[in-house]
Amino acid sequence: MAMQKVQEKPATASCEGEVLIALDRVGKRFGETEVLRDVSLRVGRGEFVSILGPSGSGKSTLFNMITGLLPADQGELKVNGEIGYMQQKDLLLPWKTVMDNITLPLRLKGTNKKLARERADALIDRVGLRGYEDRYPGQLSGGMKQRASFLRTFLASGEIMLLDEPFGALDSMTKSAMQTWLLEVQEAFGATILFITHDIEEAILLSDRIYVLSSRPGVVKEELTVGFGLGDKRERLLDPQLLRMKEAIKRLL
Ligand SMILES: Nc1ncnc2c1ncn2[C@@H]1O[C@H](COP(=O)(O)OP(=O)(O)OP(=O)(O)O)[C@@H](O)[C@H]1O
């Protein structure tokens, strides 16, 4: 039944404005295992789009294809802009300072040290790490490490950020603070974000649109626009529509 629905969907999923990521009927197998089937999605400039799906539904595989780390077996995949990829683990190098970690991708791209530091310095207040530039990752809290990792990704990313469950390992209070922080920086930086999560509430709270993936194979079961709490997404937490949407998504998974 689910497949029927996907087949009926137009290949061009909805999004307004300039499209930065476009997938049309993308498929992927690992040997005998079909991991993704017929995945079509769009991400427009300045949008916050989430991919919500259970473990094993192919979310990270999708990101690996979007970044070009893995080829797609089927379908079309277009990316219009430079991508920064923040993986599940923060992957900060423990022997480098916060500043050296943050500026590493810029340095690898050939930016000189002074300029890379100036660029990081201009944003360090925004991520709440002023005064921690010379510390080492082991001296930071989980939330601080995620913020350092986020800034590193942002500086290197140009226009598009792919965030793979960035808050998955955090305790619920830190997670909630980080979600608020992410919404603030997205607004301030005007970033385009494609976000992976298996937390339904997190997806509803943060996103403009959500693609709900089923598992084995990963198929887009539904594309949802979060049409409430548009002025201030944090107010969604208090909105009765949140619960209704959460229940509707649970029924899809
Ligand atoms: N390189 C690979 N070779 C073989 N199988 C793979 C490879 N990468 C992923 N898989 C398989 O593909 C499926 C999807 O994995 P993927 O990591 O994309 O899922 P996910 O939705 O991101 O899961 P999680 O939420 O647990 O991170 C899994 O069954 C996984 O074992």
| Residue owning the nearest CA to atom 31 of ligand 1 | 56
| pLDDT > 70: percent of the chain | 92
> What's the mean pLDDT in 130-150?
89
pLDDT digits (tens, 9 = 90+) for 25-37: 999 999 889 999 9
**pTM summary value:** 0.84
Mean pLDDT over the full length of the chain: 86
ipTM over 0.90: yes
Q: Tell me the pLDDT band of 8, cut-offs 50, 70 and 90.
A: very low
How far apart are the C-alpha atoms of 89 and 65, rounded to whole Å? 19
How far apart are the C-alpha atoms of 37 and 218, rounded to whole Å? 6
Least confident of 56-60, 168-172, 240-244: 168-172
Is the CB of 137 within 6 Å of ligand 1? no
Q: For residue 220, give both structure tokens.
A: 């887009």
Is the CB of 57 within 6 Å of ligand 1? yes
Is the CB of 84 within 6 Å of ligand 1? no
Is the CB of 55 within 6 Å of ligand 1? yes
* Buried-state track 126-159, b at ≥16 Cβ within 10 A, e below 16: bbebeebbeebbeebeebbbbbbbbbbbbbbbeb
The confidence score (pLDDT) of residue 188 equals 80
How far apart are the C-alpha atoms of 113 and 106, rounded to whole Å? 9
> What's the mean pLDDT in 173-183?
84
Q: For residue 213, which atom of ligand 1 is closest to its CA? A: 21
The confidence score (pLDDT) of residue 3 equals 34
Q: Are 74 and 217 in contact (CB under 8 A)?
A: no
Is pLDDT at 88 greater than 70 in this prediction?
Answer: no
